[in-house]
Amino acid sequence: MVKITAAEVNKLRKATGAGMMDCKKALVEAEGDFDKAIEVLRKKGQKVAAKRADRESTEGAAAAAVNADNTVGVTIVLGCETDFVGKNESFVSLAKELAQHALNYASLEEMLASDFNGMTVADKLIEQTGVIGEKLEIKAFEKVEAPYVGSYVHINKIGAVVGLTAKIDKAEELAKDLAMQVASMGATTLSYKDFDPAYVASETEARIAVIEKDNEELARLGKTLKNVPKYISMSQLTPEVMAQAEEDAKAQLKAEGKPEQIWDKILPGKMDRFVSDNTTLDKEQCLLDQVFIKDEKANVAKHVASYGEVEVAGFKRVSLG
């Protein structure tokens, strides 16, 4: 029987992340051959992976990485089955390593086929499935390339990367703030201008139906009814709609007996309120139209503009949910 030293076991453990006993058993089975021992562990992983193929990897860790030039950013989710494993330090470290590795590849498929310390990323996941005993998979892979890219990860559950159109002074600060905004508020698009008209129409109908149903219950209880908006996006507020809203506001002021000479002081506030009440979809899903989390008096577009000649080039977000 070949004698296996502690140094050999430790070397295999560092290379694979497997436990001490698993490494020793693999080296014994491989008669001390390091490469064969790795293959033994990989085959064990394949067996475990096959048994757990139908399991749901609903837990895990989000990670993000940006290259040295801050021109490429990637965020991924490494999935596992339990919260216990997802919070494990070595598991989180593996997620971070894989995010850093992902910077070199254009897609998840390309990354999975790439070499990662002597084996493909796909094989590494199978190997670690055997080591950990749970199904592992990369559930999300998002990449942003821009003149300047920043990132943010929220308690290993949500990852975000944001690209700016220029490398300005305080670019790091702005990019991180925006990545935090994306992670926190979950924007799905940059601007209301990106919405498909059919989507906006469908969403408007659905939201109005929900509010009207809520109002039925509120009326039954004798409570104040919710406002039912006609619109939910700036994309619907055409010049004709705005002109009619202004006429309606003036008619209201007249009915209230407000002197016409002071209307100019009141109308701007009423029009701002009209826009606010009728752009709920934008404030939920459009990054630039959201209220900035660090300053509720400004939206994100206004905050970005305060930095000068720079715009948001793009953003991506991943999460465990």
Query: Using 50, 70 and 90 to split pLDDT, how confident is the model at 8?
Result: confident
The torsion of the CA quartet 36, 41, 45, 47, rounded to 10 degrees, works out to 70
Query: Using 50, 70 and 90 to split pLDDT, how confident is the model at 39?
Result: confident
**The tokens 């002021």 sit on which residue?**
253
**pLDDT in the model for residue 228:** 86
CA-based angle 140:173:301, to the nearest 5?
A: 80
Q: Which helix H or strand E contains 80, and what residues bound it?
A: strand 72-80
Fold adopted by 6-51: Helicase, Ruva Protein; domain 3 (1.10.8)
Summarize pLDDT for 179-231 with one digit per residue, the tens.
999 999 999 999 999 999 999 999 999 999 999 999 999 999 999 998 888 99
Q: Residue 29 CB: number of other CB atoms within 10 A?
A: 16
- Boundaries of every domain in the chain: 6-51, 59-185, 193-306
For residues 164 and 174, is the Cβ–Cβ distance under 8 A? yes
Q: What is the DSSP string of 257-321?
A: T--GGGHHHHHHHHHHHHHHHT-HHHHHHBGGGSEETTEEEEEHHHHHHTTSS--EEEEEEEE--
Alpha carbon distance 158, 25 (integer Å): 38
Average of per-residue pLDDT values in the chain: 90
Q: What is the mean pLDDT of residues 123-132?
A: 84
Q: Residue 112 CB: number of other CB atoms within 10 A?
A: 19
Which range in 44-58, 149-163, 290-304 is most confidently predicted, on average pLDDT? 149-163
Alpha carbon distance 282, 233 (integer Å): 6
**pLDDT in the model for residue 303:** 95
Alpha carbon distance 176, 174 (integer Å): 5
* Residue 29 or 308, more confident: 308
Residues 6 or more apart whose Cβ sits within 8 Å of residue 308: 168
| CATH hierarchy code of domain 59-185 | 3.30.479.20
H helices of the chain, in order, are: 6-16, 20-29, 34-51, 83-86, 89-102, 108-112, 121-132, 171-185, 197-220, 239-255, 263-277, 280-285, 300-305
Amino acid at 239: P
